Amino acid sequence: MNSNDTITPFSDEYFMKQAIQEAYKAFEEDEIPVGAVIVSNNRIIARSHNLTERLNDVTAHAEMQAITSAANYLGGKYLKDCTLYVTLEPCNMCAGALAWSQITRIVYGAGDEKRGFTRFTPSPLHPRTEVVSGILEEESSELIKSFFAKKRN
């Protein structure tokens, strides 16, 4: 599906579109453009984008900030009945954090062959976490490609 088509409210595409908007913010701030939202009961409870450059901190990935922020919102550290939407396949650090959070679902856009968590055995995720991939994949990966093309110029 093309992301410019009509999107059904509260669908995976709908929330991924919000994560992509976060990725655009990162792009504009000269950060590797990855964005995330966390949704609970059809409501976005956390929004974030990669801030590793601005914060000088390798742990400031979009997902890590979203996990901290959602736990803060919920008043508890476990993200049960929550879904993370993230534009790029989480890295191993973020997958480890998601495992600790026991999040219910993870939906990501583009795959990340070099850094993605799916390279690892055993799976770094919690065994009950459901994973969906490839949602609005093209838009997320094009944004990252544009970022690195811009960097090379």
- Give catalytic residue positions: 63
Dihedral sign, CA of 113, 135, 37, 48?
positive
Is 82 annotated for ligand binding? no
- 51 Cα distance to chain centroid: 13
**Which span (94-102, 106-114, 129-137, 143-151) binds a copy of itself, by CB under 8 A?**
94-102
**Which span (4-12, 26-34, 52-60, 143-151) binds a copy of itself, by CB under 8 A?**
52-60
Q: Identify which of 126, 83, 138, 128 has the alpha carbon closest to the alpha carbon of residue 107.
A: 83
- Of 42, 100, 130, 142, the residue at the interface with a copy of itself (CB under 8 A) is 100
Q: Which residues, including other chains, have CB under 8 Å from residue 82's CB and lie 6 or more apart?
A: 38, 39, 40, 45, 70, 74, 103, 104, 105
Q: Does 57 bind a copy of itself (CB under 8 A)?
A: yes
Is 94 annotated for ligand binding? yes
Residues in binding site: 61, 91, 94
Footprint of a copy of itself on this chain (CB under 8 A)? 52, 56-59, 64, 67-68, 71-72, 75-78, 91-97, 99-101, 119-122, 124
